């Protein structure tokens, strides 16, 4: 079975001046298989968010190879990258990034519209996902009418809209109180047990240890890739 994500010698450098070169990602080789739940952990500035953007095809590497389901992304046009990202990867961010003028339902429908799903399909899928994240009674609510935890659950539902192969989350509890953060992490754990592949970026060591696998970064490099011993229960796929 091909990994969902495979990185080979990936680097992402930023040149600030003739004398200053920031090595945000500095030679990362990594495989993530279908059904894994992985956290990428490290202090601020270690390169973990940059690595997530590279994995998610939001940023291009300076060097190295990125394969999505065995497909080499090097040489793809911008349109091809956008199509691959839209169909294969769902994103959850710290600050939600919901469209303020769209309802919860419409925010979830939006990524499906980008891949030309029919109106009836979008509506039914969005309703199904709102039920999944326990927000069936918030269908017509605008983001300002939702709590932080509810906004993040809408964002999770939006990430699932196109049935992606991989869900990437960047500090998904960073803008939430501890109780609400635990609820969101429980949701991610449930999604993993249902067969989804998850990668969560975090600087929180407690959150990092909740995943079966933790990748620790420092100065743009992976310094540890360890199993935490967690397994799916019998209900998981």
Q: pLDDT digits over 113-142, tens only? A: 999 999 999 999 999 999 999 999 999 999
- Please compute the mean of the pLDDT values over residues 80-86 and round it to a whole number: 92
Check whether 235 has a pLDDT greater than 60: no
Strand pairing category for 37-41 and 198-202: parallel
Q: Measured between alpha carbons, how far is 224 from 22 in angstroms, rounded to an integer?
A: 21
Q: Measured between alpha carbons, how far is 209 from 229 in angstroms, rounded to an integer?
A: 10
Other beta carbons less than 10 A from residue 163's beta carbon = 11
Residues 165 and 197 sit within 8 Å (Cβ to Cβ):
yes
Counting every residue, how long is the chain?
A: 237
Instruction: Output b/e per residue, 123-158; b: 16+ Cβ within 10 A.
Output: bebbeebbebbebeebbebbbeebebbbbbbbbbbb
Average pLDDT, the chain: 92
Residues 153 and 184 sit within 8 Å (Cβ to Cβ):
yes
- Beta strand residue intervals within the chain, DSSP E: 5-15, 21-32, 37-41, 63-68, 71-72, 89-93, 166-170, 198-202, 213-218, 221-227
Stated pTM of the model: 0.90
- Please compute the mean of the pLDDT values over residues 190-194 and round it to a whole number: 93
Other beta carbons less than 10 A from residue 10's beta carbon = 21
For residue 87, report the phi and psi dihedrals to the nearest 5 degrees. -90, -20
Q: Residue 81's pLDDT band (boundaries 50, 70, 90)? A: very high
pLDDT of residue 17: 79
pLDDT of residue 237: 41
Q: Measured between alpha carbons, how far is 2 from 200 in angstroms, rounded to an integer?
A: 21
Residues 109 and 126 sit within 8 Å (Cβ to Cβ):
yes
Instruction: Please report the domains of the chain, with CATH numbers, ordered by start residue.
Output: 35-49+75-213+221-227 (3.40.50.300)
Torsion over CA: 87, 93, 95, 96 (sign): positive
Q: Residue 207's pLDDT band (boundaries 50, 70, 90)? A: confident
Alpha carbon dihedral 218, 224, 229, 233, in 10-degree steps, equals: 60
């Amino acid at each position: 079975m091909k990994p969902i994500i495979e990185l080979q010698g990936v680097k992402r450098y930023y040149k600030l001046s003739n004398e200053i070169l920031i090595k945000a990602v500095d030679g990362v080789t990594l495989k993530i298989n279908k059904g894994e739940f992985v956290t990428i952990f490290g202090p601020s500035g270690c390169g973990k968010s940059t690595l997530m953007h590279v994995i998610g095809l939001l940023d291009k590497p300076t060097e190295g190879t990125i394969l999505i389901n065995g497909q080499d992304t090097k040489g793809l046009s911008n349109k091809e990258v956008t199509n691959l990202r839209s169909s294969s990867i769902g994103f959850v961010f710290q600050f939600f990034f919901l469209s303020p003028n769209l309802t919860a339902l419409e925010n979830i429908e939006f990524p499906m519209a980008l891949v030309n799903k029919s109106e009836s399909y979008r509506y039914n899928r969005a309703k199904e996902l709102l039920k999944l994240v326990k927000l069936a009674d918030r269908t017509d609510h605008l983001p300002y009418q939702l709590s932080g935890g509810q906004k993040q659950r809408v964002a999770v539902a939006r990430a699932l809209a196109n049935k992606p192969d991989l869900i990437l989350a960047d500090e998904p509890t960073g803008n939430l109180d501890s109780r609400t953060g635990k609820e969101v992490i429980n949701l991610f754990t449930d999604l993993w047990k249902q067969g989804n592949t998850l990668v969560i970026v975090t600087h929180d060591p407690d959150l990092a240890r909740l995943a079966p696998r933790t990748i620790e970064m420092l100065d743009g490099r992976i310094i540890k890739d360890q199993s935490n011993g967690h397994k799916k229960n019998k209900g998981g796929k």
